């Protein structure tokens, strides 16, 4: 019997609670069928927290998040909160969680399910079977570096400044995440920077190479310039397994890879922090999409990104890669059987609601289990 793990669910606003409800069905399925329990707690975040507590996240919720084995986060924000002060805005809750959990590694997989290969803007044979993981540095680099700002010049014109800074520790801890993930994937890491024109990029390349030489020679390491990587992602994305890169380049490259897969409603993500003494990393799992106020409350939201975020939690925080595969297989089967929410609807397929999509995924989990998976 595996010890119960603590999972904190924060559904949030808009479609957040709708897609989280379907994820709960999947969690319940594992709880019942496999006799492996989760200690699930649920709490308020974002606008939902502001409505009750006048803050986007309470200290009590922060404490629960810090003490959990993983946080499952829905989405926050919406028009009701647009006019709040910046410090009260729902999105501040996510920033605070990222900061206080020390989540420095953002994992964005780009997986193309065979049944949706047509939905990509690239040719089907270029994206079929695609499975890439982009690891973006999340707490440093040019978005945080000093000096920054806009200053007035003596000639009456102005100057805008941002600074790209990375130190050894920031590079090494991200590199370790990349090599560790590659070791349970296809054992290939592309480290991406611009060492041809940026000193911070040169340091990045040298530190990643040194880390590799010292600890990870069982993995294959390639270095690539960021501009070439952008081009290679749309030319031949299958050459990649894990891409590890800076905050700025990761921001751009993960959006390119997202487009390879088709819809926002299909994209999960994870953010990881430092390893504890017991070897666990702080973690937060969330769909890439926001609270989608335009479709909230209408049963139109695609819950797959949220459900796949849970499957990432199983794989990367709860050491249950087999169960993660089971969920991914169930999703693949539902898509193969032609079920589609509106965002991924295609001619000749069956349009289903958020709830029906959750039920179909659970039905296919039953089927996989009866077939001995
Ligand atoms: P969004 O991701 O919420 O929506 C963009 C478009 O994609 C919309 O047309 C929406 O209907 C569609 N969409 C998104 N998720 C979908 C799903 N699961 N199924 C089907 N269609 C889906 O982005 P936005 O409209 O720019 O932002 C809306 C609100 O969400 C804003 O308040 C924004 O600040 C917030 N937001 C929150 C997060 C987060 O919580 N992590 C991320 C992005 C945006």
pLDDT tens string, the chain, 373 residues long: the values are: 455 778 999 999 999 999 999 999 999 998 887 655 678 999 999 999 999 999 999 999 999 999 998 999 999 999 999 999 988 999 999 989 998 999 999 999 999 998 888 878 889 999 999 999 999 999 999 998 999 999 999 999 999 999 999 999 999 999 999 999 999 999 999 999 999 999 999 999 999 999 999 999 999 999 999 999 999 999 999 999 999 999 999 999 998 988 888 778 999 999 999 988 777 889 999 999 999 999 999 999 999 999 999 999 998 888 888 999 999 999 999 999 999 999 999 899 999 999 999 999 999 999 999 888 7
Q: Is 259 left (phi over 0), alpha (psi -120 to 50) or beta?
A: alpha
Structural tokens at position 87: 């410090």
Q: Report the separation in Å between the CA atom of 289 and the middle of ligand 1, taken as the mean of its atom positions.
A: 5
Report pLDDT for 316: 87
Question: What SS3 state is found at 70?
Answer: strand
How many C-beta atoms lie closer than 10 Å to residue 229's C-beta?
21
Q: Report the separation in Å between the CA atom of 267 and the middle of ligand 1, taken as the mean of its atom positions.
A: 12
- Out of 13, 22, 264, 303, mutate this one to test ligand 1's pocket (max ligand atoms within 8 Å of CB): namely 264
Structural tokens at position 286: 């969330």
Say if ligand 1 is within 6 A of residue 76 CB.
yes
Report pLDDT for 23: 97
Q: Where are the alpha helices (DSSP H) in the chain?
A: 16-33, 47-53, 59-66, 91-100, 124-127, 168-183, 199-215, 226-235, 247-261, 304-316, 321-336, 354-370
Do the Cβ atoms of 150 and 159 come closer than 8 Å? yes
Q: Please tell me the distance from the alpha carbon of residue 93 to that of residue 99, in angstroms, as a whole number.
A: 10
Q: Please tell me the distance from the alpha carbon of residue 86 to that of residue 325, in angstroms, as a whole number.
A: 40
How far is the CA of 59 from the CAs of 56, 63, 97, 178, 243, in angstroms? 10, 6, 11, 32, 35
3-state secondary structure 187-244: CEEEEEECCCCCHHHHHHHHHHHHHHHHHCCCCEEEEEEHHHHHHHHHHCHHHCCEEE
Do the Cβ atoms of 271 and 284 come closer than 8 Å? yes
Q: Which residue lies with its CA nearest to atom 43 of ligand 1?
A: 290
For the CA of 16, the closest atom of ligand 1 is 40
Say if ligand 1 is within 6 A of residue 75 CB.
yes
Say if ligand 1 is within 6 A of residue 294 CB.
yes
Say if ligand 1 is within 6 A of residue 343 CB.
yes
Q: Please tell me the distance from the alpha carbon of residue 108 to that of residue 78, in angstroms, as a whole number.
A: 24
- Enumerate the active-site residues: 143, 194, 227, 251, 255
End-to-end CA distance of the chain: 19
For the CA of 354, the closest atom of ligand 1 is 19
Say if ligand 1 is within 6 A of residue 292 CB.
yes
Q: Which residue lies with its CA nearest to atom 42 of ligand 1?
A: 290
Question: What SS3 state is found at 64?
Answer: helix
**What are the beta bridge partners of residue 63?**
none
Report pLDDT for 10: 98
For the CA of 76, the closest atom of ligand 1 is 40
Report pLDDT for 35: 58
- Out of 265, 287, 292, mutate this one to test ligand 1's pocket (max ligand atoms within 8 Å of CB): namely 292
Say if ligand 1 is within 6 A of residue 94 CB.
yes
Report pLDDT for 36: 58
Structural tokens at position 179: 């090599």
């Amino acid at each position: 019997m595996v010890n119960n793990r603590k999972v904190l669910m924060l559904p949030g606003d808009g479609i957040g609670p709708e897609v989280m409800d379907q994820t709960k069905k999947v969690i319940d399925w594992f709880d019942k069928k496999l006799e492996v329990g989760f200690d699930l707690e649920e709490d308020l975040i974002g606008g939902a927290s502001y409505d009750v507590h006048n803050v986007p996240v309470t200290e009590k919720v922060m404490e629960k998040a810090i003490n959990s084995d993983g946080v499952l986060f829905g989405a926050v924000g919406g028009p009701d909160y647009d006019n709040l002060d910046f410090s009260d805005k729902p999105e501040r809750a996510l920033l605070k969680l990222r900061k206080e959990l020390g989540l420095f590694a953002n994992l964005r997989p780009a997986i193309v399910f065979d049944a949706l290969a047509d939905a990509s803007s690239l040719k089907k044979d270029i994206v079929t079977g695609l499975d890439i993981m982009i690891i973006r540095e999340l707490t440093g680099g040019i978005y945080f570096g000093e000096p920054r700002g806009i200053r007035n010049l003596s000639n009456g014109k102005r100057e805008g400044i941002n600074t790209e800074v990375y130190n050894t520790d920031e590079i090494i801890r991200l590199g370790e995440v990349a090599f560790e993930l590659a070791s349970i994937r296809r054992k290939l890491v592309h480290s991406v920077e611009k060492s041809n024109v940026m000193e911070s990029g040169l340091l990045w390349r040298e530190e990643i190479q040194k880390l590799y030489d010292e600890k990870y020679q069982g993995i294959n390491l390639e270095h690539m310039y960021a501009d070439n990587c952008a081009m290679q992602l749309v030319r031949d994305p299958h050459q990649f397994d894990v891409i590890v890169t800076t905050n700025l380049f990761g921001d751009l490259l993960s959006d390119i890879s997202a487009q390879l897969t088709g819809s926002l409603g299909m994209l999960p993500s994870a953010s990881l922090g430092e390893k504890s003494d017991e070897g666990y990393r702080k973690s937060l799992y969330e769909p890439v999409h926001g609270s989608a106020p335009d479709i909230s409350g209408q049963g139109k939201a695609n819950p797959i990104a949220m459900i796949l975020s849970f499957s990432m939690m199983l794989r990367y925080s709860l050491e249950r890669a087999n169960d993660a595969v089971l969920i991914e297989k169930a999703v693949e089967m539902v898509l193969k059987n032609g079920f589609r929410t509106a965002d991924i609807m295609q001619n000749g397929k069956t349009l289903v609601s958020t709830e029906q999509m959750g039920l179909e995924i659970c039905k296919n989990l039953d089927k996989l289990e009866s077939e001995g998976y």
